[in-house]
Amino acid sequence: MEIWINPACSKCRSAIGLLDAEGAEYTVRRYLEDVPTEDEIREVLTRLGLEPWDITRTQEAAAKELGLKDWPRDASARDRWVRALAEHPKLIQRPIITADDGTAVVARSDEAVRDALARE
């Protein structure tokens, strides 16, 4: 199991705390420092069953600068969104847990973290 975190994020710290409390084995990826490639983002999206705009933090300054709210949300724009996430990792919703069974969850709640733990 791997968890993508920003240490400054309270939801990330909460998820780590719950994983620790449950004795889970996991790897931490500080995705602002170890930035995921476009291919890694595509893989996580497949595992999540989501589109790039579903995991984009649209209120971030970079999102506003890029004008993301006006970008199309369809297959023709998918690569553009993925590229934006790779170039501006702060836009990636967090934390994301990739489970050993090949799935992933956006773990913004204790329930989502427990869901990831149940997939081991």
**Cβ neighbours around 3 below 10 Å, total:** 23
Q: Catalytic site residue 12? A: no
**pLDDT tens digits, residue range 63-77?**
999 999 999 999 999
Distance in angstroms (rounded) separating the CA atoms of residues 56 and 101 = 24
Convert the pLDDT of each residue in 30-66 to its tens digit. 999 999 999 999 999 999 999 999 999 999 999 999 9
Residue 8 reports pLDDT greater than 90: yes
Q: CA 101: distance to chain centroid?
A: 17
Q: Which of 1, 9, 48, 62 is catalytic?
A: 9
Strands in 27-30's sheet, in edge-to-edge order, are 27-30, 2-5, 96-98, 104-106
